[in-house]
C-alpha cells in the first residue's frame, strides 16, 4: 500500500491510498476517513459509492460526510468508480469505460480483464481495509450517489447480512428499463438480460428486498430523473412492503449541492443501524 496523502480532518484523518488490485488487475486508489475513535480500536464503516465520471475524490471533497461521520464515530471509505491506467479499456462516451464501472463484474471484451468492480467493492477492498486499518467489518453500511446509489442498493440486496443499512442519493433505480443501464449492462455483461437482474435495484427489490432499513433521496428537479426511474423502485418497495423511507426533495437537482444537503440525515440514519443491537 502507498499512502498518497493524510490530512487531519474533524479530529480524525482523511487519507488517500493506492494499492494493487487482483480483482481489477491494476493499481486502485481509494479515500478513507477515520474518526478519532479509530485510535482506540476498530470503528464501524460506511461505504460511499460515487457516480459516473467520478473518482474517489469527488465525494471525499464535496459531500461533506466527514463532519457528520466524526460526530458519530464512523469511518467512511470512498472507492474509485472503475479501474484505470495504461492498458485498461476505455470508451469515448462518458457513461462507459473508465469512470463508469457500474459496480459489475464484466464478462465481455474488452472489459472483462479489468472491470470487476463488484468483486473489488464486495470482497477485495473490505479484506484490504480490515487488514490495514482499525475498521470493524462486523458493522458495515453502504450508500452512494447516482450510479453509486445503484451499486449500493444492488450490493446490499445481493449480499444479505453484509450491511446493516443502505441508503442512496438519486440512484439509477431501474437500469434494465432506461438508457442509463441498458447500454452499460449490455456492454459489460452481454445480451442475456437474465444476467442483468442482480444489477437492477427495482427487480431485486421485487425478488428479495433488504433485511434492514433503507433511506433514499432524489431531487424532484433532478435533470436526469427520467433516466433514474425512481417511480419503478418506489413501486417495488410498496409492492414488497419493504421497510424504507423514499423522499422526493422539491427543488433539488443531481449535484453535490443536493448530496451535501442531506448527508447529515444519511449519516445519522446509518449510525442508528451501526450502533444498534
Q: Which residues are catalytic?
A: 146, 222, 254
Could you give the CA distance from residue 250 to residue 119 in angstroms, rounded to a whole number? 36
Please tell me whether the overall predicted TM-score, pTM, comes out greater than 0.95 for this model.
yes
Where would I find the beta strands (DSSP E) of 22-97?
A: 26-34, 43-49, 75-79
- Taking the CA atoms of 37, 42, 46 and 51 in sequence, report the sign of the dihedral they define: positive
Domain chopping of the chain, boundaries: 2-275
| Nearest CA among 103, 7, 15, 11 for reference residue 54 | 103
CATH class, domain 2-275, is alpha beta
User: Phi, psi (5° rounding) for residue 77?
Assistant: -110, 135
> How do strand 75-79 and strand 166-169 relate by DSSP bridges?
unpaired
**What size, in residues, is the chain?**
277
pLDDT tens string, the chain, 277 residues long: the values are 999 999 999 999 999 999 999 999 999 999 999 999 999 999 999 999 999 999 999 999 999 999 999 999 999 999 999 999 999 999 999 999 999 999 999 999 999 999 999 999 999 999 999 999 999 999 999 999 999 999 999 999 999 999 999 999 999 999 999 988 999 999 999 999 999 999 999 999 999 999 999 999 999 999 999 999 999 999 999 999 999 999 999 999 999 999 999 999 999 999 999 998 6
Amino acid at each position: 500500500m502507498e499512502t498518497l496523502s493524510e490530512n487531519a480532518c474533524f479530529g480524525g484523518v482523511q487519507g488517500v491510498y493506492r494499492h494493487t488490485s487482483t480483482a481489477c488487475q491494476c493499481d486502485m486508489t481509494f479515500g478513507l476517513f477515520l474518526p478519532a475513535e479509530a485510535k482506540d480500536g476498530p470503528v464501524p464503516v460506511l461505504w460511499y459509492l460515487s457516480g459516473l465520471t467520478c473518482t474517489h475524490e469527488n465525494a471525499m471533497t464535496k459531500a461533506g460526510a466527514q463532519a457528520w461521520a466524526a460526530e458519530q464515530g464512523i469511518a467512511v471509505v470512498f472507492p474509485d468508480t472503475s479501474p484505470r491506467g495504461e492498458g485498461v479499456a476505455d470508451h469515448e462516451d462518458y457513461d462507459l469505460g473508465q469512470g463508469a464501472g457500474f459496480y459489475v463484474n464484466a464478462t465481455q471484451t474488452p472489459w472483462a480483464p479489468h472491470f470487476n468492480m463488484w468483486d473489488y467493492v464486495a470482497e477485495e477492498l473490505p479484506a484490504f481495509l480490515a487488514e490495514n486499518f482499525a475498521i470493524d467489518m462486523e458493522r458495515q453500511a453502504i450508500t452512494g450517489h447516482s450510479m453509486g446509489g445503484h451499486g449500493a442498493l444492488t450490493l446490499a440486496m445481493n449480499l444479505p447480512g453484509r450491511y446493516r443499512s443502505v441508503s442512496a442519493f438519486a440512484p439509477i433505480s431501474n437500469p434494465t428499463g432506461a438508457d442509463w443501464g441498458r447500454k452499460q449492462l449490455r456492454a459489460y455483461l452481454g445480451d442475456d438480460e437474465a444476467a442483468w437482474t442482480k444489477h437492477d435495484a427495482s427487480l431485486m427489490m421485487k425478488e428479495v428486498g433488504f433485511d434492514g432499513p433503507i433511506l433514499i433521496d432524489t431531487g424532484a428537479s433532478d435533470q436526469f430523473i427520467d433516466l433514474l426511474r425512481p417511480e419503478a423502485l418506489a413501486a417495488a418497495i410498496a409492492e414488497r412492503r419493504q421497510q424504507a423511507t423514499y423522499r422526493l426533495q422539491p427543488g433539488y437537482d443531481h449535484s453535490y449541492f443536493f448530496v451535501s444537503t442531506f448527508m447529515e440525515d444519511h449519516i445519522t440514519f446509518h449510525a442508528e443501524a451501526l450502533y444498534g443491537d
